[in-house]
């Protein structure tokens, strides 16, 4: 049935086309207007007849098209509508000037732009705005909503434009900015939170702040005024809102911008921002006040540095100590005017035993000094200096043997040079104070050979030489007696000493040998005084003693016995078995062979 209707419609259209074509042809060939009019009327009758046929078959669209061909737009529009072809119907109504119906039909055909234009043309701004909105023309829609006082919809659509187009505050004037317009209409619509939000998004902080202020949200308004750069207004609102600390904080910034640094720092302190206050005081070169603020803020290291700049070393030390910066604290205590017990304790606390011991020693706390100095590691670069100080303490306590042991440990296997002068000097002092004048003299002379101007060595060496000479003259008076056989005898007034020197037997590179009398055991012995190079060198002398002990344990007919060794009159000696006879030199000159 549908196929048959389609064929009939096609035939009718073809007939209509041929009739029109024939009419045109007749008109052009004959040129008779009236004849043409009669023909058209005849054709109109044919068309209407065909329309009836189409309508009987319910082909409203084809019928509408035939109505259009005979300029019957009203019926054509009705049939297009009935055929559910709203776009065609809208076009016919627009052609007829019926913009209201056309607009509605364009809307139905989803042609929102044409619909909006026609609604706007007839003054139906509500529908026009809605159609523009549906068509995606949000700014145009917003403008129309604004005209009909629908501020909420205008605000929403301007807000949507802001999202789509992005920030415009810096590109265009305020009145053209989507965000500004959105916020303004949200305000008019009573949607204050939304107004504030959209203002902030595009940087309209002052406008947002004013809305907050109107709503009584003084703190939020103040914060927004800060963003807007109006610090004085912000400070005022913080104060009105009862937030004095924040008000002072803002006032501090205002003073800082004006270059009033001290005022700014004081206001920052009143705001509870001690670190900010400290930094501003420091910038103003008010270091002591900066230090106080850093202390309040718990920034102890920075506080200490400020007090150092201010020259308040005690406060600096206390601040460093609070921050557990013990080394810095100890150094600051030192700057208060020398060593302090507190500084020494701090050095000891961090394991700097040398500085701790040195400080204790300067304070006269010898026990603590010894305890600290003896903890200095042998690998430390301060070990030698620590040992010297330990030796000094032993010397002050007249513990010369312990002092010598410490000094000898430092210089062991080390030649005397500029770096070892101190321990050699103190070792010489030990020898001198313990009565070992020869060793002291020898050690002083070694120091002089390296540095003749070193401390008081020259005077001490000269003093010992005088003492030794005086002893030789007064205490060890040598008397040369010529015996009946012509031999010279050497007699020394030994002032009740154990050994009485009788006669020099011989001398050489290893010392002088005398025939002497052991007054204690009442026997004749060989008494050998050791050379100064041996007796003044502790390590060499120790080796000599070890060899002497070993020899003392030997017993052989060709080996003389060793009886004793020690110091007497500041001279190192050794006593041995005395055997009468000629010297080896004389014996060899006689040409005799040595008998086993």
Residue 37 has pLDDT above 60, yes or no: no
What's the total number of domains in the chain? Answer: 1
Q: Which of 186-200, 293-307, 379-393 comes out lowest in average pLDDT?
A: 379-393
Residue 85 covered by a domain: no
Residue 544 covered by a domain: yes
Bridge partners, residue 523, by sequence: 518
Residue 87 covered by a domain: no
Residue 280 has pLDDT above 90, yes or no: yes
For residues 575-581, average pLDDT: 85
Range of the domain at 490: 476-589
For residues 243-269, average pLDDT: 88
Residue 509 has pLDDT above 80, yes or no: no
Q: What is the pLDDT of residues 440-487, one digit of tens each?
A: 888 888 889 889 899 898 888 888 865 555 544 444 443 343 333 434
Residue 545 covered by a domain: yes
For residues 128-157, average pLDDT: 88
The pTM score is: 0.46
Place of tokens 């008010």: 286
- 97 vs 219, higher pLDDT: 219
pLDDT at 33: 43
Q: Average pLDDT over the chain, rounded to whole?
A: 78
Q: Is the distance from CB of 484 to CB of 504 less than 8 angstroms?
A: no
When pLDDT is cut at 50, 70 and 90, the band that residue 212 belongs to is very high
Angle between helices 99-108 and 125-134 (to 10 degrees): 30
Here the CATH number for the domain that contains residue 503 is: 3.30.200.20
Q: Which of 212-221, 244-253, 335-344 comes out lowest in average pLDDT?
A: 335-344
What are the backbone dihedrals phi and psi of residue 512, each rounded to the nearest 5 degrees, phi first?
A: -120, 135
Residue 568 covered by a domain: yes
pLDDT at 483: 37
Residue 397 covered by a domain: no
- Separation of alpha carbons 507 and 55, rounded Å: 165
Q: Is the distance from CB of 94 to CB of 118 less than 8 angstroms?
A: yes
pLDDT at 424: 87
pLDDT at 299: 93
Q: What is the pLDDT of residues 299-318, one digit of tens each?
A: 999 988 998 898 888 888 88
When pLDDT is cut at 50, 70 and 90, the band that residue 242 belongs to is confident
When pLDDT is cut at 50, 70 and 90, the band that residue 289 belongs to is very high
What 3 state SS string does 414-480 have? CCCCHHHHHHHHHHHHHHHHCCCHHHHHHHHHHHHHHCCCCCCHHHHHHHHHHHHHHHHHHHCCEEE
Residue 149 covered by a domain: no
Residue 193 covered by a domain: no
Q: Is the distance from CB of 294 to CB of 306 less than 8 angstroms?
A: yes
- 245 vs 39, higher pLDDT: 245
When pLDDT is cut at 50, 70 and 90, the band that residue 334 belongs to is confident
pLDDT at 238: 84
């Amino acid at each position: 049935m549908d196929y048959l209707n389609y064929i009939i419609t096609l035939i009718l259209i073809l007939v209509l086309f041929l009739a029109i074509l024939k009419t045109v042809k007749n008109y052009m060939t004959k040129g008779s207007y009236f004849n043409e009019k009669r023909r058209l009327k005849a054709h109109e009758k044919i068309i209407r007849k065909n329309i009836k046929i189409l309508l009987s078959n319910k082909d409203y669209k084809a019928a509408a098209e035939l109505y259009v061909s005979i300029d019957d737009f009203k019926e054509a529009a009705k049939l297009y509508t009935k055929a559910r072809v709203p776009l065609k119907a809208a076009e016919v109504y627009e052609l007829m000037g019926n913009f209201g119906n056309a607009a509605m039909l364009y809307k139905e055909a989803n042609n929102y732009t044409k619909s909006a234009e026609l609604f706007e043309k007839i003054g139906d701004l509500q529908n026009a705005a809605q159609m523009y909105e549906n068509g995606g023309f949000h700014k145009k829609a917003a403008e129309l909503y604004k005209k009909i006082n629908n501020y909420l919809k205008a605000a929403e659509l301007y807000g949507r434009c802001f999202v789509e187009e992005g920030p415009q505050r810096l590109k265009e004037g305020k009145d053209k900015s989507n965000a500004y317009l959105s916020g303004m209409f949200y305000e008019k619509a009573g949607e204050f939170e939304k107004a504030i939000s959209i203002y902030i998004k595009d940087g309209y902080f002052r406008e947002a702040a004013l809305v907050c202020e109107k709503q009584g949200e003084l703190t939020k308004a103040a914060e927004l005024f800060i963003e807007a750069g109006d610090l004085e207004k912000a400070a005022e609102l913080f104060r009105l809102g009862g937030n004095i600390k924040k008000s002072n904080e803002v006032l501090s910034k205002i003073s800082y911008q004006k270059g009033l640094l001290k005022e700014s720092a004081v206001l920052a302190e009143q705001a509870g921002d001690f670190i900010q206050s400290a930094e501003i005081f420091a910038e103003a070169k008010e270091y002591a006040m900066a230090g106080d603020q850093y202390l309040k803020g718990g920034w102890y290291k920075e506080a200490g540095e400020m007090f150092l700049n201010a020259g308040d070393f005690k406060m600096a030390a206390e601040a460093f100590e609070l921050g557990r910066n013990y080394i810095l604290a100890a150094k600051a205590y030192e700057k208060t005017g020398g060593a302090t017990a507190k500084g020494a304790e701090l050095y000891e606390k961090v394991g700097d035993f040398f500085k701790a011991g040195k400080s204790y020693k300067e304070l006269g706390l010898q026990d603590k000094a010894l305890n600290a100095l003896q903890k200095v590691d042998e690998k430390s670069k301060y070990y030698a200096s620590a040992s010297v100080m330990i030796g000094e303490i032993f010397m002050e306590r007249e513990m010369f043997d312990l002092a010598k042991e410490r000094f000898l440990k430092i210089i062991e296997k080390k030649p005397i040079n500029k770096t070892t002068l101190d321990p050699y000097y103190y070792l010489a002092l030990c020898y001198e104070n313990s009565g070992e004048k020869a060793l002291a003299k020898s050690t002083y002379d070694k120091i002089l050979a390296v540095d003749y101007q070193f401390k008081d060595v020259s005077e001490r060496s000269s003093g010992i030489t005088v003492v030794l000479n005086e002893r030789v003259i007064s205490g060890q008076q040598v008397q040369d007696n010529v015996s009946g056989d012509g031999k010279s005898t050497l007699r020394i007034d030994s002032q009740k000493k154990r050994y009485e020197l009788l006669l020099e037997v011989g001398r050489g590179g290893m010392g002088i040998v005398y025939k002497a009398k052991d007054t204690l055991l009442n026997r004749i012995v060989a008494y050998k005084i050791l050379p100064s190079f041996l007796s003044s060198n502790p390590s060499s002398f120790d080796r000599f003693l070890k060899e002497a002990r070993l020899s003392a344990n030997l017993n052989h007919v060709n080996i003389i016995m060793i009886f004793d060794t020690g110091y007497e009159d500041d001279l190192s000696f050794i006593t041995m078995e005395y055997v009468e006879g000629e010297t080896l030199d004389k014996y060899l000159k006689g040409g005799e062979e040595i008998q086993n």
